[in-house]
Amino acid sequence: MRVVLAEDSVLLREGLIRLLDASGMEVVAAVDEAEGLLRAAQEHRPELVITDVRMPPTHTDEGLRAALVLRRQQPGLPVLVLSQYVEERYAAQLLASAANGGVGYLLKDRVADVAEFIDALRRVASGGTALDPEVVAQLLLRGNSDPLERLTPREHEVLRLMAEGRSNAGIGQALVLSEGAVGKHIGNIFAKLDLSPAEGDHRRVLAVLQFLKIRSLP
């Protein structure tokens, strides 16, 4: 897997390069500012972009805004944001595009397992999602949840874990359910959120977006 990495902390950047290399991924470019990220992604056409949020020159939201630009320039480009902060407005815009390619948002201080982190990267590169529960919790505050009132408490638990990027097996382990039971809950969620089989594989992503109450911002 070819990766472009954007991180302004030299120690973290070098550490990630070594970790990704040891996991069989090729870091084709590693940059320390948003403009460099845009140039590197255009030049190398990676299979995954990993970016921090706050980068030079203002250390506010340059990395996340660059990720949004890249998603417009290269539709479907998988992007994983790795940051200490939840930047709600631009995070919502990024995640609203999840139906068109993998996205993730993980918090640096809460990444506690290397294997799970690598699994999250591969999941995003394959078109899935990987969201830290704290990101999910903050984005949930963005609007009312009326369309979700049809769901049972158990279905809410299943959908919350779907939003974190868990597989059916992972959801089953977390809730002590069989994969068959998880599949039935997910089927009920799709039905109650009016997501028809015609939506295909996107139904899972669309259900997560309804859960987060994400709306595209102008």
What would the two tokens of residue 183 be?
Answer: 């599949």
Query: Domains in the chain: how many in total?
Result: 2
- Asked if residue 217 is part of any domain, the answer here is no
**Among residues 206, 211, 86, 213, which one has the least CA distance to residue 157?**
211
Same-domain status, 168 and 152? yes
Give pLDDT tens digits for 146-166: 567 778 889 989 998 998 889
Pair 119, 166: CB distance under 8 Å: no
Same-domain status, 65 and 151? no
Same-domain status, 178 and 135? no
- Which pLDDT does position 218 carry in this prediction? 41
| Domain end position, chosen among 112, 143, 174 | 143
Host domain of residue 153: 147-212
| Domain end position, chosen among 143, 174, 193 | 143
Same-domain status, 80 and 167? no
pTM flag (> 0.85): no
| Domain end position, chosen among 143, 170, 203 | 143
Give pLDDT tens digits for 183-207: 989 988 887 887 767 655 577 888 8
